[in-house]
Amino acid sequence: MSLKILTLLAHLSKPSYRIAMQARPILYSFRRCPYAIRSRMALAAANCVVELREVVLKDKPADLTAASPKATVPVLVLPDGQILEESLDIIDWALHHNDPLNWATKDAGATDWIQRCDGELKTWLDRYKYADRFPEASAEHYRQQAEQTLRHMENTFEAHRWLGGSRANIADVAVFPFVRQFAAVEPHWWAQAPYPKVRAWLAFWLDSALFASVMKKYPRWEPKQPITLFPAQSVPD
């Protein structure tokens, strides 16, 4: 085999080349990550079929780091080589293609909820969930700080069923995975916490067929293994 052919084959095997030549979007995801969950919710609702690659965050594949040096999930690699590294960008991309549930909105209130979730709630949630890593205060203190957002949600649900008002929109979809994480830290406390309307709202999402479909377990992705399409469907011959 000539040196030119060997050089070409080596180039074709590089992750960066495989990204450029892919036939469908590739989603790097981690099942329990709330950012990945909300991205998968939007992709599934929009029926945007992607190749799903479930990763182990402690051992990230070379293809992921080649696509996104920061190597956080989710990452969506589009067939034209464009890289979407933020969950909200992935959501926007999916709903731009198809939005059968009318989740997309330009309402400022939705933006405010998402910003509050990704800022204030996420900050205190991380400290509450991993209180041993933040010994300067107690887990109870961190929980109480996070509850400021929950109280605001409870008050909102006094007037509306959804964060988005009269119908669910992207604010609800973007926020509920983080409230799910919060509720899982101390389930017994959460079951009796003074947020019945937040619990009912969260239960709606957790009990939905859509959520069940995006939480299906997949094996860790390895190069050369059969592809996994998401939303789940058979691979065409």
Query: Could you list the pLDDT tens digit for every one of the 237 residues in the chain?
Result: 444 433 433 433 444 444 445 689 999 999 999 999 999 999 999 999 999 999 999 999 999 999 999 889 999 999 999 999 999 999 999 999 999 999 998 788 999 999 999 999 999 999 999 999 999 999 999 999 999 999 999 999 999 999 988 899 999 999 999 999 999 999 999 999 999 999 999 999 999 999 999 999 999 999 989 999 999 864 333
Q: Which fold has domain 19-101+213-230?
A: Glutaredoxin (3.40.30)
| Distances from the Cα of 166 to the Cα of 79, 83, 162, angstroms | 37, 34, 6
- pTM for this prediction: 0.88
* Architecture of the structural domain at 108-206: Up-down Bundle (1.20)
Residue 233 has a pLDDT of 65
> What is d(CA 110, CA 165) in angstroms, rounded to the nearest whole number?
9
Residue 232 has a pLDDT of 83
Amino acid at residue number 86 = E
| Distances from the Cα of 181 to the Cα of 5, 45, 59, 110, 195, angstroms | 51, 22, 23, 20, 15
pLDDT digits (tens, 9 = 90+) for 123-176: 999 999 999 999 999 999 999 999 999 999 999 999 999 998 889 999 999 999
Q: Where are the domains of the chain?
A: 19-101+213-230, 108-206
Same fold, 19-101+213-230 and 108-206: no
Nearest CA among 230, 4, 210 for reference residue 101? 210
